[in-house]
Amino acid sequence: MTRTGVLRAGYGGLGLAFAGLAASIYVEALVLPAFLLALVGGVLLAFSDDPLPKWAGIVLLSYFVFTVLVFVAATPITIDKGDGYFINAAPMDVARAAFDWLVLAAPLMLVGAALLGAWEREMPARILLFGALAGFLLVAVLSVALRPQDVSFEEAERQGSLTRTLFAVSSAAGAAGMLWAAARPDELA
């Protein structure tokens, strides 16, 4: 595969991952395929010949590996010792909290790697990715700051609706930026 083909496929994988995240607001089952597409996009970018996309892919793959390791540390494991099954002690609270924060930061990591990978592309692609980054930052802040137990049910529903809508718009901006970069991977800004 040519350099341009690898870049096009990597950017396209990340663009489809963002599109899947945007659609996951309505079909929650699309979250896992979206992150699998991001993993494929990261692998393709890691094997590209361009330095920035290559490092973006390596950073994204490292994040996925680290998240899996923290998930394993936060999950109780069933062990068969021959005379029955034993479950290890409850997972450490620190590992569970770290996994929660890693999941919260996943869209930020994805858009950060996408922005790094598309940094040498045209300005409109970067602007869309900066918009996605700003939206995901706002979603993360709102997710941490808003406390549904402090407000009425209706207010909590409105807050959740606002956060989901902002997440979908941010994901759509990320998808548009990466698909723009995939359409013109050979152009430099």
Q: For 84-111, write each residue's pLDDT tens digit.
A: 555 555 566 777 787 788 888 889 899 9
Which pTM value belongs to this model? 0.83
Distances from the Cα of 30 to the Cα of 9, 22, 34, angstroms: 20, 9, 6
The pLDDT of residue 111: 92
Rounded CA-CA distance 14/1 in Å is: 18
Rounded CA-CA distance 188/121 in Å is: 5
Rounded CA-CA distance 52/41 in Å is: 14
The pLDDT of residue 158: 87
Residues of the chain with pLDDT under 50: 188-189
Q: Is 176 exposed, middle or buried (0-12, 13-18, 19+ CB in 10 A)?
A: buried
Would you give the DSSP letter of residue 55?
H
The pLDDT of residue 187: 54
Rounded CA-CA distance 13/10 in Å is: 5
The pLDDT of residue 101: 85
CB 189 within 8 A of CB 121: yes
